[in-house]
Amino acid sequence: MIEEKKKRSRGVFLLPNLITTSALFSGFYAIVSSINGDFVIASLAILIAMVLDGLDGRIARLTNTQTVFGENYDSLSDMICFGLAPAIMFYTWANTNLILNLDSSKIVLICCFIYVASAAIRLARFNSKIQTQDKKYFIGLASPAASAVIITYIWIVETMVNGYVHYIWVGLFILPLLSFLMISNITYYSFKDFDIRHKVPHITLFVIALIISFISFDPPLVLFSFFLLYALSGPSMYLMRIVKKKKSFSKEKTSTKP
């Protein structure tokens, strides 16, 4: 009986790992599409990987099929989908649309590598602190959100007719900024306390329908605006906390004066 249980425990749960594999395929397909110059398709593939990445963990928790293997597999998938794929996409996009000399080509290469390294550090730090940190908040910008900012930005530029050169250099500014936010100690709301099993007010369905309507109006612009606001929400809240601390400190000083 003990040997039979050991043999059974060596396997993996199919459903959550199947979703993770699908996300991994989406990331791989995004890399292939980027190499082929299909940047809009690559953006959509990474966005699909984001949706699947959000599903596998929730389904594992709902079905009580969480395993250490699943966590590590998900982390490796995230590295490819949200670390490597966006960097290759940006590098290929910049090389395709910008006449690069040796120096500017090196700048693009360095910025892309910094992004990949930051995503790896972010994921490694998340895995090492997964048991101790507050589930409601992320420390540093999550790699899926960082990748969403840069890929939706490329998607917006791809729908334009002129002005590629200027927008590519703006992207080279955004990429290191996202890299810094990923490895920073700035906290972001994780939305992990939202339980889909609980009842919600009817107005919530109306809000969801409204969001879908806005996204359908101009998908790249709306999605870019949403993810950019989320990326900036962490530094904004951090600055607000600093201002509040200074105000409370100054009030304490004035109250202690004779």
DSSP states of 183-223: HS--EEE--TT--TTS---HHHHHHHHHHHHHHHHSHHHHH
Which domains are present in the chain?
10-238 (1.20.120.1760)
Q: What pTM was estimated for this model as a whole?
A: 0.85
164 pLDDT higher than 90: no
237 pLDDT higher than 90: no
257: confidence class by pLDDT, cuts 50, 70, 90: low
131: confidence class by pLDDT, cuts 50, 70, 90: low
Burial pattern 56-93, b for ≥16 Cβ within 10 A else e, equals bbebbeeeebeeeebeebbbebbbbbbbbbbbbbbbbb
Say if CB 63 and CB 30 are below 8 A apart.
no
230: confidence class by pLDDT, cuts 50, 70, 90: very high
Percentage with pLDDT > 90 across the chain:
41
Residue 137: which H helix or E strand, with range?
strand 137-139
Mean pLDDT for the stretch of residues 210-223:
84
